Amino acid sequence: MSYYLGRQKFTPAALDAALHVLASASTRAALCEVEISSGATPVEQTGEYQIQRTSTTGTTPAGNTTVVKRDSFSPAAGCTFGGGGYTTEPTPGDALLDISVHQKASFRWVAYPGRELLTTPAASAGIALSVIQQSAAFSINASCMWLE
């Protein structure tokens, strides 16, 4: 198994896919860690997020979406990574986890080994951290780690 990391910093709108790990017909992603925080000037704001399976790729993610290998001996990632505001958002599917976070707090979810959240085994399938709503627009820092 190889581990990969993707991260994003941006100011989302409602229903933006902040992070999107996109599998392929031959590679299935298993989401094992998600972090959400904010580097914006702290005020009393909240955000609601969901981890969702996706069934389409979306088009033209706006953010800088470099995949980082967690081990230099790992092969190149079979999955691709996007996020930060798409022109056309990926199509959401199953909601796997609901998360509410105050802007002054940070949130970290780590899967118990063997209990990772898996993409559907199909081309164009993925898993995303989506912004459901924020009490007011504020920037978030989000990262995720997955294994293949």
CA distances from 13 to 30, 84, 99, 123, 138 (A): 26, 10, 16, 27, 9
User: From CA 39, how far away is CA 42, in angstroms rounded?
Assistant: 8
pLDDT in tens, 28-81: 999 999 999 999 999 999 999 999 999 999 887 776 677 888 888 888 888 889
Length of the chain: 148
What total of structural domains would you count in the chain?
1
Going by C-alpha positions, the residue among 37, 16, 28, 34 that lies closest to residue 125 is: 28
pLDDT in tens, 73-132: 888 888 889 988 888 999 999 999 999 999 999 999 999 999 999 998 888 899 999 999
Contact 122, 25 (CB under 8 A): yes
Tokens, residue 134: 């924020």
Q: Give the pLDDT band (50/70/90) at residue 26.
A: confident
DSSP class of residue 73? T
- Domain containing 105 equals 3-147
